[in-house]
Chain A
Amino acid sequence: MSEAKATADSRSLRQRWLPHPLLTVVLTGFWMLLLNDFSMGGLVVGLALGILIPLYTTSFWPTPPRIKSYPKATAYFFLVLWDIVQANIQVAYWILFWKNEQLKPKFFTVPLDIRVPEGVATLMGTITMTPGTVSSDLSADGKALLVHGIHVPDEAAMILNIKTRYEARLLEIFR
């Protein structure tokens, strides 16, 4: 608290009260989408939430995420969406038509090149949502990822796929 007071002077009014303007816009937009209807009262509540939530959670993300390229981020979103559909069909097929003994579940390590916390979080989320892999743990220094695969016939190919298909793209999105 005292630390916050000490640094308060160096920050502008905007930085103190709107630490993450984009988050405010997104939260207000989300609230309006959840209401599914436009009303002045709804907008006021949405704006209040959009201002208060960043204020109270700003210590979790002291610096705004640095995104280099929004078009690339959008492309990545649709790539992952498509992969999720494929992953679902693949896993459904394994569950329904394969005997349990045919599946080769395994933990494996993915070394990480990406350092931005938001990027690591996005990569972990992506891995969990896509073909037969769940990200289970991060190394204590945040530079390796423990992934569990439901069916891992070729570990090296799986790691290569994660690194080239997702991590390489995320490295271009986050600064």
Chain B
Amino acid sequence: MTLIAEIVISLLIVAGGFFAFVGSFGLIKLPEIMQRLHAPTKATTLGVGSVLVASMLYFLVIEGIPSIHELVITLFLFLTAPITANFVAKAYIHRRESPKSLPLTNRDAGWATFDPPPDQRTAGEERGTS
């Protein structure tokens, strides 16, 4: 039983290291900023996730102590990774893109990075004309 657990834990740690490595490698390899963003948001999540699951299993099976706060770390990671990615993407859009280079919104309003919300925009236009 312990042997099986040790093998599973080792595999998880190796998988974790592998995905964390791929995430970092993608950061170097991919040519564009937006493409590079994909590597750390995804590959690294599974990397860290595997290591955390391994840690949980280790404490549960080998040490006999249930350890749950790894789940919380995973959850925080899932909550923060998209927000960080969104910030980087917005910074990229500000510096490298223009309203014309992006696809159309197919709405009355443009993208939030360039355009204010519709109600504020009309207010601004009214101020501008008066």
Q: Write out the residue numbers on chain B whose beta carbons fall within 8 Å of the beta carbon of A89.
A: 46
Seed contacts A84-B45, A95-B25; 9 additional CB < 8 Å A-B pairs: A36-B69, A85-B46, A91-B42, A103-B30, A108-B103, A129-B45, A139-B105, A140-B110, A140-B118
B37 at the interface (CB under 8 A from A): yes
B-side interface residues, number (CB < 8 Å): 53
Contact of B110 among A85, A108, A139 (CB under 8 A): A139
Contact B86 A141 (CB under 8 A): no
* A interface residues, Cβ below 8 angstroms from B: 30, 33-36, 84-85, 87-89, 91-92, 95-96, 100, 103, 105, 107-109, 111, 124-125, 127-129, 132, 134-144, 146, 148, 150
What is the CB-to-nearest-CB distance from B39 to chain A, in angstroms, rounded to a whole number?
6
Known A-B contacts A30-B72, A84-B45, A137-B93; the reply to A143 vs B38 at CB < 8 A is no
A125 to B42 Cα, complex, angstroms: 12
Contact A125 B79 (CB under 8 A): yes
A132 to B38 Cα, complex, angstroms: 7
Q: Write out the residue numbers on chain B whose beta carbons fall within 8 Å of the beta carbon of A143.
A: 107
Contact A105 B26 (CB under 8 A): no
* B interface residues, Cβ below 8 angstroms from A: 18-19, 22, 25-26, 29-32, 34-35, 37-39, 41-43, 45-46, 49, 67-69, 71-72, 78-79, 81-83, 85-86, 89-90, 92-93, 102-113, 115-118, 121
What is the CB-to-nearest-CB distance from A49 to chain B, in angstroms, rounded to a whole number?
14
Cβ contacts A to B, 21 pairs, < 8 Å: A33-B69, A36-B67, A84-B78, A89-B46, A91-B38, A92-B22, A100-B30, A107-B102, A125-B79, A125-B83, A128-B85, A129-B41, A129-B42, A134-B38, A140-B111, A140-B118, A141-B107, A146-B105, A148-B34, A148-B89, A150-B35
